[in-house]
Amino acid sequence: MIPLGAAAGIHRWPASLSVAVGLLLAGCGASSEPAPPIHPDFSIAAPELDEVLEQVDAVTAERIRTHSQVFLDLVAQVLAADRSFRVLVDKRHALPQDYVPTDLVALDTYPITTNRTGHRLSRRVMPDLLAMAEAARIDGIELMVSSAYRSFDYQDRLYKRHVDQLGREAADLVSARPGHSQHQLGTAVDFGSISDGYGETANGRWVAQHAWRFGFSLSYPLGATERTGYNYEPWHFRYIGRVGTRLEREFFGGQQQLMLEFLAAWAPWFAARRGAAGP
Ligand SMILES: [Zn+2]
């Protein structure tokens, strides 16, 4: 064996010997090998994920880096789920005026309490909404749906009424402009009294504690006005699926807006690398 310490004198060795040493060094150089994928479903190595995480806030980045396999497991499931569960509908992102979910069903035909007749929701929400109402009932809580699907035109009238009553600036903190309401998706639900005190009622506390288990996410949490653009709304939940609420809780601190912004920015990047790692 040639001691590696002799490499400084390599220029004096015969050519064949230099090639042999070169091959030996290449074999030892692990850094020259491509890094392996972190997860079998994605062709993503740790250094590539790190590049994404450089553009994410430090707390979220650390959570993802530490549990990257669980994270990618959940991302794979979110990508496979209904896209409307993760579409960003907020102050800056609107739905088309003519967007109407194609699977609206009348809540009056289901065993669920409502504040009036005529509410409709996307059929995709119903199994988990019914399961949640049943779980609440077992705990002695009766869930009541007070608002569900709202059309663009309905939201237009509602927003104008708020502007008339409060002025535009104050109205924007409590009411979405037409096209910007999650209710137009047919997957958002207002529960109970639609009042600030709802969060302090037994009913509101139950929903705050358990809704995530059924795929319902609090859209406008306390103290998140700067991020969401809305005041605290303890009654307003959006259905994002059970995998969605797990991803939101485990990696985004329960902040729906933060998670949906991340997915809006990066879902195409993850989707493009999905399935490329294996058969
Ligand atoms: Zn609402």
- What residues does each domain of the chain span? 34-85+250-279, 87-239
Q: What's the CA-to-centroid distance between 183 and ligand 1, angstroms?
A: 6
Q: What's the CA-to-centroid distance between 80 and ligand 1, angstroms?
A: 27
| Spatial contact of 249 and 218, defined as CB atoms under 8 Å apart | no
Architecture of domain 87-239: 2-Layer Sandwich (3.30)
pLDDT at 30 over 60: no
Cα(116)–Cα(146) distance, rounded to whole angstroms?
7
Q: What's the CA-to-centroid distance between 2 and ligand 1, angstroms?
A: 74
Q: The whole model's pTM is what?
A: 0.86
Q: What's the CA-to-centroid distance between 220 and ligand 1, angstroms?
A: 9
Q: What's the CA-to-centroid distance between 19 and ligand 1, angstroms?
A: 71
Q: Which of 30-34, 88-92, 105-109, 180-184 has the lowest mean pLDDT?
A: 30-34
pLDDT (tens digit, 9 = 90+) per residue, 54-87?
999 999 999 999 999 999 999 999 999 999 999 9
Cα(46)–Cα(50) distance, rounded to whole angstroms?
6
Q: What's the CA-to-centroid distance between 22 and ligand 1, angstroms?
A: 67
Within its chain, how far is the Cα of 85 from the centroid?
8
Cα(169)–Cα(145) distance, rounded to whole angstroms?
28
